[in-house]
Amino acid sequence: MSSIPIRRRPPRPVAASLTAAAATVLALGTPTATGTASAASLPCDIYASGGTPCVAAHSTTRALYASYNGSLYQVRRSSDNTTRDIGVLSAGGVADAAAQDSFCAGTSCVITIIYDQSGRGNNLTQAPGGGAAGGPDNLANATAAPTTVGGHKAYGVYVAAGTGYRNDRTNGIATGDQAEGEYAIFDGTHYNGGCCFDYGNAETSNNDTGNGHMEAIYFGNIKVWGYGTGNGPWIMADLENGLFSGVNQHYNANDPTINYRYTTAVVKGEPNHWAIRGGNAQSGSLSTFYNGARPNVAGYNPMHKEGAIILGIGGDNSKGSAGTFYEGVMTSGYPTDATEDAVQASITAAGYGSGGGGGGGSFPSGYHQLIAGNDGLCLDVYGNTSSAGAAIDQWSCNGQSNQQFQFVPGSNGFGELQAQNSGQVIAVANGSTAQGSPDIVQQARNGAASSMWKPVAQSDGSWSLQNQNSGLCLDVYGAGSNQGQQLDQWPCKNAAGSNQDFTPN
Catalytic residues: 240, 316
Closest to 195 in 3D by CA, of 124, 133, 141, 261: 133
Among candidate residues 118, 63, 108, 56, the one with its CA nearest the CA of residue 86: 63
Helix (H, G, I), strand (E, B) or coil at 46: helix
Q: Give the containing element (helix H, strand E) for 498.
A: none
Q: Would you call the peptide bond into 473 cis, given omega within 30 degrees of 0 as the criterion?
A: no
Helix (H, G, I), strand (E, B) or coil at 99: helix
**Looking at the DSSP assignment, which residues form a beta bridge with residue 37?**
31
- The answer to whether residues 429 and 439 touch, using CB atoms and an 8 Å cutoff, is yes
Question: Quick one: 354 exposed, middle or buried, by C-beta within 10 A (0-12, 13-18, 19+)?
Answer: middle
DSSP for 305-360 reads: B--EEEESS-TT------EEEEEEEEESS---HHHHHHHHHHHHHH-BT-SSTTS-
Through-space distance between the first and last CA atoms of the chain, rounded to whole angstroms: 19
- 121 CA to centre of own chain: 24
Residue partners of 254: CB distance under 8 A and separation at least 6: 228, 246, 289, 290
State how far the alpha carbon of 95 is from the alpha carbons of 90, 139, 147, 151, 185, in Å. Answer: 9, 19, 11, 12, 16
Q: Distance (Å, rounded) from C-alpha 83 to C-alpha 170? A: 24
Determine whether 193 is exposed, middle or buried from the number of CB atoms within 10 Å of its CB (0-12, 13-18, 19+): middle
